[in-house]
Amino acid sequence: TSFFPSPTCSRSKSRFYFVALPALFKQELHNTEAEEGGTATLRCELTKPKAPVEWRKGDVTLYPGLKYEMKQQGCAAELVIYDLEVEDS
């Protein structure tokens, strides 16, 4: 976390702008092998705890349901894919 004074600081009032650092990958996703009909878990680790995560397959955003489960604890984020099909590659 960093604080930077604005160029309009005066003696009576000081303004500070908060600059939040972006969440980056501390540990990126790795290829996972699993059998058709089984379950696969993809995991990554971020530099910020509870940073918002959006799981995507290509241009399609994935949402929790019968097929996908999203888990997040601290800096770790997981995507569980159930009932694997060839199209899930």
CATH number assigned to the domain comprising residue 57: 2.60.40.10
Is 7 inside a domain boundary?
A: no
Question: 2 and 45 in contact (C-beta within 8 Å)?
Answer: no
Is 73 inside a domain boundary?
A: yes
Total Cβ atoms within 10 A of residue 51: 13
pLDDT digits (tens, 9 = 90+) for 33-83: 899 999 999 999 999 898 889 999 999 999 999 999 999 999 999 999 999
Is 10 inside a domain boundary?
A: no
pLDDT of residue 65: 95
Q: How many domains does the chain have?
A: 1
Question: 45 and 29 in contact (C-beta within 8 Å)?
Answer: no
Calculate the CA 43 to chain-centre distance.
Answer: 10
Is 86 inside a domain boundary?
A: no
pLDDT of residue 84: 95
Q: What is the DSSP letter of 69?
A: E
pTM over 0.85: no
Residues of the domain holding 38: 25-81
Is 34 inside a domain boundary?
A: yes
Is 39 inside a domain boundary?
A: yes
